[in-house]
Structure 1
């Protein structure tokens, strides 16, 4: 064997030895979060998708945070691309009626239509149907509960609100959210409030530094072992009986 061929073979051997392992072998699968063992918090956004939803989704993706969006059907129809992206990026989609009437002052037929039209709009936009209902204004009665049960959905309220719709101030929204955050809490927010979306990067970083995993409502429910039945309400407001 010539000296030149021997040198080329030696170089080839070194290159094979130093070649990196395939990328898929270097990326371990992320373990699921157990909200019974770690601090979890569900950020929920009502009345959307709002016009700032794209920016919010960029932030959530950057910080590997998940959220739950309680959507209005009228805005799902006007901004379907946001809804499709929400589902694709692992966020949870909930039903928040089609046009936000007070269900406790509505006829049964109106409530059913409001829920069904939103189910249909989300299914068309994202290929999935919401499994959770948040009644407008968080108001429900026996009739609403029975109709929710007929759609095989529990009703999800919140442990506390950010009051973003009222203050519309970045610092106030951040301060209030940090004050009311608690393990397995469900926080009410709105993605149509620009100040909420503007303050979200700093808020998420602070919550994560405090040890919170930002997860979907369904993950919180698992951590609470809630075992909700269709028509049930969680969390149960003071004075209510499930």
Structure 2
């Protein structure tokens, strides 16, 4: 009799536990880590609505490029870097970081020769070798070409067209390669700054890198957004292969640095 009583008691407890389990709300996940955060969305700057300017840097990656990238990251600004293959080879980490952090990459040849003074074959070799090492190091190919010294002719335009890339020059300078003076660089950039301007600078000039925090702050106060060259374009327009941008009426050879 006692055994039957214990069996009935055990069965009652089991049934009670099952019923309580059915009535209980589903277990909640641990809140130790707080609510799940949605990924931040990057808002694309519309240069048709706000003032934009493209700061561009030739001959890199220079040995001060990491400090320059730190400054751009702090200011949440973007730039366009026209790289030389020889320096991508010697400073691959800097080139990779440029792409990782959302900057635009252009082709500035491998050894910075005068394109007008070399053969078609040599021009192709300079550009293709640079494109190859940039892709190998960063995972992305250059999106545009800037010939050394800004010098080009029909042959260069034809080769750029074959490679499917536009030729990007500039319409404002810094003369950083000539003055190597922080105040002079600062004043020259602000003097030549204009909406949709493309400014020529160099990341191997230490004074350029040093003055950049002050310069970005001044441009921001004037309402400028620092963007890549491609981001300057309106309504999703893309530069065509062999197209020259901006207006080539400027005399770039008066602004570009000597060979470095």
- TM range, smaller chain: 0.7 to 0.9
Provide the alpha-carbon RMSD of the alignment: 1.9
Alignment of 1:154-233 (within 5 A): 154-220=166-232, 222-223=233-234, 227-233=238-244
Q: CA deviation at 1:83?
A: 0.4
Q: Which residue of 2 aligns with 1:57?
A: 69
Instruction: Give the C-alpha shift of residue 99 in structure 1.
Output: 0.2
Q: Write the distance in 2 (CA, Å) between the matches of 1:239 and 1:47.
A: 20
For normalisation by structure 2, the TM-score amounts to 0.81
Residue of structure 1 in register with 2:245 after alignment: 234
Task: Report runs of 4+ in structure 1 exceeding 4 Å deviation.
Answer: 224-227
State which of 33, 37, 45 in structure 2 corresponds to 1:24.
Answer: 37
Is residue 171–residue 250 contact of structure 2 (8 Å, CA) maintained in 1?
A: no
TM-score, length basis structure 1: 0.87
- In the TM superposition, what is the alpha-carbon distance from 1:228 to its structure 2 partner? 2.6
Gaps of 5+ in 1: 1-15
**Matching residue of 2:143:** 131
Distance, in Å, in 1 between the alignment partners of 2:63 and 2:36 is 37
Q: How does 1:35-46 map to 2 (within 5 A)?
A: 35-46=47-58
Instruction: Compute the displacement of 1:157 (Å).
Output: 0.1
- 1:68, CA displacement in angstroms? 0.4
**Aligned pairs for 1:11-160 within 5 A:** 22=35, 24-25=37-38, 28-160=40-172
Computing the radius of gyration over CA atoms, which structure comes out larger, 1 or 2? 2
Structure 2, gaps ≥5 residues long: 1-30, 252-260
**Post-superposition offset of 1:131:** 1.3
Number of aligned pairs? Answer: 221
CA contact (8 A) 1:184 1:223 kept: no
1:9 corresponding residue in structure 2: none
